[in-house]
């Protein structure tokens, strides 16, 4: 079974930058056996710390960008939806729907996504016991969702910090079809910069290797050609060199498990 990497910018900015990021990722994954990569990006970020933070181009322009990337690079694409009214349009333009961590218990959103007829990836809330993610899975499957993925993205550790409990990967593997680790969001320090989140990208490669050694199905990470220019998550988003090192290290650990 191919290992899955979901990677891309946090939020869509310009079409030029989106295509540049896709080309960067294509070069990293080119020629690798046993790997599938999916391009990810948000068209609108609704969970910003500050009202003045960049939120994205909006649903129409954003979905148009994602459709263009899917055609140009021949890859699957995914984006997150924040309310039931966004599901139909998003499902017509992407291959996988994503449910944000803070919305992983929203019944109406999960039921709408489950009815879309495409795979759904649910981020585990930072506040959630992994056992209780079975409720999200049940809501999706009750509406006929063909594939349910769950993604670990860290748990709150007091104020302004996250930790990853690897036991959650094993727990969730028993209640869904596929389990991933969101490496870069797991390294966030929520609200640490006052109006935005800080983080520790220097741990990304080791965390990815540990997750691969644990035996999960795939990895999720955010990437940008120039992290300092990213409109969000500048402290955790990966540049070309770190992204390539992360993929190389994870694949070596996966191959070592065969």
Q: What is the pLDDT of residues 52-100, one digit of tens each?
A: 676 778 999 999 999 999 999 999 999 999 999 999 999 999 999 999 9
Angle between helical axes of 15-29 and 240-256 (0-180°, round to 10): 30
Confidence band of 50 (pLDDT split at 50, 70, 90): low
For residue 191, pLDDT beyond 90:
no
Distance CA 90, CA 63 (A): 7
CATH code of the domain covering residue 101 = 3.20.20.70
SS3 (DSSP) at 97: strand
Distance CA 212, CA 254 (A): 6
Confidence band of 235 (pLDDT split at 50, 70, 90): confident
Number of separate domains in the chain: 1
Q: What is the pLDDT of residues 159-189, one digit of tens each?
A: 889 999 999 999 999 999 999 999 999 998 8
Distance CA 86, CA 112 (A): 9
Contact 66, 52 (CB under 8 A): no
Domain of 126? 3-256
Contact 41, 231 (CB under 8 A): no
Across the range 128-152, mean pLDDT stands at 98
């Amino acid at each position: 079974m191919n290992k899955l990497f979901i990677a891309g910018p946090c939020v869509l900015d310009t079409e030029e930058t989106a295509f540049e990021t896709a080309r960067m990722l294509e070069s990293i994954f080119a020629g690798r056996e046993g790997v599938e990569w999916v391009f990810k990006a948000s068209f609108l970020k609704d969970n910003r710390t500050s009202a003045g933070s960049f939120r994205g181009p909006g649903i129409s322009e954003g979905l148009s960008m994602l459709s263009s990337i899917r055609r140009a690079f021949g890859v699957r694409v995914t984006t997150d939806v924040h309310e039931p009214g966004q599901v139909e349009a998003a499902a017509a333009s992407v291959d996988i729907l994503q449910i944000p961590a803070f919305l992983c218990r929203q019944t109406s959103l999960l039921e709408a996504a489950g009815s879309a007829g495409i795979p759904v990836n649910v981020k585990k809330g930072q506040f959630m016991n992994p056992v209780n993610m079975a409720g999200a899975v049940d809501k999706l499957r009750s509406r006929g969702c063909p594939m349910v993925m769950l993604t670990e993205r860290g748990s709150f550790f007091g104020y302004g910090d996250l930790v990853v409990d690897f036991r959650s990967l094993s727990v969730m593997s028993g209640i869904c079809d596929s389990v991933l680790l969101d490496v870069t969001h797991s390294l966030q320090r929520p609200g640490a910069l006052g109006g935005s989140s800080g983080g520790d990208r220097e741990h990304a490669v080791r965390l990815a290797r540990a997750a691969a050694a644990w035996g999960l199905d795939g990895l999720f990470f955010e990437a940008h050609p120039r992290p300092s220019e990213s409109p969000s998550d500048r402290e955790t988003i990966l540049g070309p060199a770190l992204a390539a090192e992360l993929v190389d290290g994870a694949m070596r650990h996966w191959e070592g498990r065969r």
